[in-house]
Amino acid sequence: HPDLASDPSIVTGYEGPFSTAGPWSSDGCGHGTHVAGTIAAIGSNDQGVVGVNRNGQLKLHIVRIFGDNCVWAWGSSLVAAMNECVDAGADVVNMSLGGPWSSAVEEAAAARITNDDGVLLVAAAGNGGNDSYLYPASYPDVMSVAAVDSNNDHVYFSQYNDEVDIAAPGFGTESTCPSSSYCTKSGTSMASPHVAGVAALVWSRYPSKTNLEIREALEQSAEDFGTAGRDNYYGHGLVRADLAEFYLDTGSTARPTVSPTPGPPTVSPTPAPPCDDNPVGWFDSDGATFNCEWYSVGSNCEDYGDFYEREGTTANVACCACGGGTPLDTPSPVPASPSPSPSASPVKKSSKAPSASPVN
């Protein structure tokens, strides 16, 4: 496919004894090609779509277990496929597949691969539109991915249960398809590679982190939707590469939605000059809760003021509480002596450089 890397040093596949489904480089139903494009379609090449990892350098190892009809495969083939990915040196394994029956052998393999081999396993939560479990996604050592639409609403078919860990786009997803074409598909199979792709992207920037640390960063930094906190529909929330990077840089969890109790007031010898937030009524990219009043509490300006840009500005530039805003003209005081006090120029806190660039 012209939008996928073809260099054999980058893209490899398995054609060993258990690979009875057909050549790894052939895709009879388009499912695997679509998943690959979501993870790694090349950007800046004037071709159809852009993957999460767009530089054409992400190594992919393809293990095919479905025939051309993409209907079913043996559980033993799935375990063998996971082991093959580990043997090939994979850091992240995406499994856009699943079934309703759990297997002690599969679960033990997932636990071993996660805890002994240090590989991050990601799988589709399921398309049944109910609260039943799908496997391998619902094994504890696998990240279960739910689907959302372009409005970040939970999609009706996406399964919901207490094993759902995180959510990603999975409705009307355009990606690569066989015969150098493009097509649109929906399903948690489309959501799972978004998370696997983000995991690979973030991990490439923090190669010393473990699989469990990357998983924690993705979950703790996910953008919260639905019921506050983790819920069965979105898990921890929508995967966000930029917020995962911020989490790994700062060790900070998702921002509080309830203002913390402020400490003792600091008495300033000189009152701050009058000021208007600019623009008036500004709030950041995470919504109206995070306005200049929210930033005025505690160390929110210092911790978050250079992030979450909206309307071309951040809190440290827009909010008076953070040292930004627009100073108002201060009327001259009535002098207490023949020589009036000089008028003080308002000091504006400059915006500090962010500690990390957003992940593209």
3 state DSSP class of 301 = helix
* pLDDT for res 109: 97
How confident is the model over 138-143, as a mean pLDDT? 98
* pLDDT for res 19: 63
* pLDDT for res 242: 94
- Is a pLDDT exceeding 60 seen at residue 345? no
* pLDDT for res 205: 95
Lowest mean pLDDT across 58-67, 108-117, 134-143: 58-67
- Between 271 and 312, whose confidence is greater? 312
Q: How confident is the model at residue 296 (pLDDT cuts 50, 70, 90)?
A: confident
Q: How confident is the model at residue 253 (pLDDT cuts 50, 70, 90)?
A: low
Q: How confident is the model at residue 192 (pLDDT cuts 50, 70, 90)?
A: very high
* pLDDT for res 22: 81
C-alpha distances out from residue 165 to 16, 24, 127, 234, 307, Å: 33, 29, 15, 7, 25
How confident is the model over 43-63, as a mean pLDDT? 91
3-state secondary structure 56-72: CCCCEEECCCCCCCCCC
Q: Return d(Cα 199, Cα 52) in angstroms, integer.
A: 10
Query: What is the per-residue DSSP string for 14-75?
Result: --STT--S--TT--SSSHHHHHHHHHHPPSSSSSS---SS-SS---EEE---S-TT-----H
In this structure, how many other beta carbons lie within 10 angstroms of the beta carbon of residue 96?
23
- Is a pLDDT exceeding 60 seen at residue 217? yes
Task: DSSP letter for 306, please.
Answer: T
Q: Which of 240, 101, 97 is nearest to 166 (CA)?
A: 240
* pLDDT for res 288: 79
* pLDDT for res 328: 64
Q: What is the pLDDT of residues 72-107, one digit of tens each?
A: 788 888 999 999 999 999 999 999 999 999 999 999
Q: Cα 233 from chain centroid? A: 16
Mean pLDDT rounded to a whole number for the chain: 83
Ramachandran bin of 179, using left for φ above 0, alpha for ψ from -120 to 50, beta for the remaining angles: left
Is the CA virtual torsion 206, 212, 215, 216 positive or negative? negative
- Between 212 and 298, whose confidence is greater? 212
pTM of the model: 0.71
Of all residues in the chain, the percent with pLDDT exceeding 70 is: 83
3 state DSSP class of 12 = strand
* pLDDT for res 256: 44
- Is a pLDDT exceeding 80 seen at residue 344? no
Q: How confident is the model at residue 355 (pLDDT cuts 50, 70, 90)?
A: very low
In this structure, how many other beta carbons lie within 10 angstroms of the beta carbon of residue 75?
17
In this structure, how many other beta carbons lie within 10 angstroms of the beta carbon of residue 261?
7
Q: Which of 12, 120, 14, 141 is nearest to 77 (CA)?
A: 14
Tokens of 132: 């039943």
- Is a pLDDT exceeding 50 seen at residue 331? no
- Is a pLDDT exceeding 50 seen at residue 342? no
Q: Which of 137, 119, 144, 147 is nearest to 203 (CA)?
A: 119
Q: How confident is the model at residue 308 (pLDDT cuts 50, 70, 90)?
A: confident
Cβ atoms of 63 and 86 within 8 Å: the answer is: no
Query: What is the per-residue DSSP string for 116-129?
Result: TS-PEEEEE--SSS
- Is a pLDDT exceeding 80 seen at residue 266? no
Lowest mean pLDDT across 41-55, 161-175, 229-243, 300-314: 300-314
- Is a pLDDT exceeding 60 seen at residue 340? no
How confident is the model over 25-54, as a mean pLDDT? 91
